[in-house]
Each structure stands twice: as structure tokens, then as C-alpha cells.
């Protein structure tokens, strides 16, 4: 229920963030790689600023289930990141201090035949 940032030169803890919920996934994002996004609890995520080591935002109910994966979209200059829940739904977010949900892809793991209209 906490996240520790380590200093690779000093080989010790540089800072500890208390999360109050289990962490499931993490990713560094933002144009300057200064934002850390952590999936926690049942579908929530928290946004930390790495420069000032502060909590910037908590997004409640970003997904209906736990976030299993967070990916910074490097091909788009890390201006966006994606979250994926255990049900296979993907959300695309702006990589800012207070992210906005841009769009959702529902169940990307489903068979095409299962999604086709009858």
C-alpha cells in the first residue's frame, strides 16, 4: 500500500508515496517523463509528479475492474497513456497533471465473431 522511489546512485529509498490501496501497475509518462501513473484498487489510478514528488490527482472509477496495465504512448511523444483493465477494456488519457479520458476501446480481447451483429 505504498510506492518507494529508489535512488540508483545512493542505492536507497529517495521517497515513499502512501497509496492506501494495492498497486497493480505503474508507468512513467508525460512529455518530460515527469508523471508517474499507478493503477490501484478496483479500477482507480493515481497521478504523481516526479519533479516535486507530490500527488497530482486521483481518478476514481477509471475502469470497472483493476487496472492491469498502463503504457505511455511513446510514438505520440508521451503526450498520452493507455490503461487496460482485467476485462480487456482500454482507455486513452492525456498525460497531464489532471488527465482527461479521450476515448475507450471496449474488450479488445473479444473474438470478432462474438462482437459481430446477428
**11-22 burial, b if ≥16 CB within 10 A, otherwise e?**
eeeeeebebeee
Separation of alpha carbons 69 and 82, rounded Å:
8
What's the whole-number mean pLDDT along residues 13-25? 89
Q: Is the pLDDT of residue 4 over 90?
A: no
Grid cell 508525460 is found at: 30
Q: Is the pLDDT of residue 115 over 70?
A: no
Separation of alpha carbons 23 and 2, rounded Å:
8
Structure confidence at residue 69 (pLDDT): 97
User: Which is more confidently placed, 113 or 105?
Assistant: 105
- Mean pLDDT of the residues in the chain: 91
Q: Is the pLDDT of residue 85 over 70?
A: yes
What's the whole-number mean pLDDT along residues 70-89? 96
| Res. 41 pLDDT band, cuts 50 70 90 | very high
Q: Is the pLDDT of residue 99 over 90?
A: yes
Structure confidence at residue 1 (pLDDT): 85
Q: Is the pLDDT of residue 79 over 60?
A: yes
Task: Write down all domains in the chain, each with its CATH number in brackets.
Answer: 2-115 (2.130.10.10)
Q: Exposure of 36 by Cβ count < 10 A (0-12 exposed, 13-18 middle, 19+ buried)?
A: buried
Amino acid at each position: 500500500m505504498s510506492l518507494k522511489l529508489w535512488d540508483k546512485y545512493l542505492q536507497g529509498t529517495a521517497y515513499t508515496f502512501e497509496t492506501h490501496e494495492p498497486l497493480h501497475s505503474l508507468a512513467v509518462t508525460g512529455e518530460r517523463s515527469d508523471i508517474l501513473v499507478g493503477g490501484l484498487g478496483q479500477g482507480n489510478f493515481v497521478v504523481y509528479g516526479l519533479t516535486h514528488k507530490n500527488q497530482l490527482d486521483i481518478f476514481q472509477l477509471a475502469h470497472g475492474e483493476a487496472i492491469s496495465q498502463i503504457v505511455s504512448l511513446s510514438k505520440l511523444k508521451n503526450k498520452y497513456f493507455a490503461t487496460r483493465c482485467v476485462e480487456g477494456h482500454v482507455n486513452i488519457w492525456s498525460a497531464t497533471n489532471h488527465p482527461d479520458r479521450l476515448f475507450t476501446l471496449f474488450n479488445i480481447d473479444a473474438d470478432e465473431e462474438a462482437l459481430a451483429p446477428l
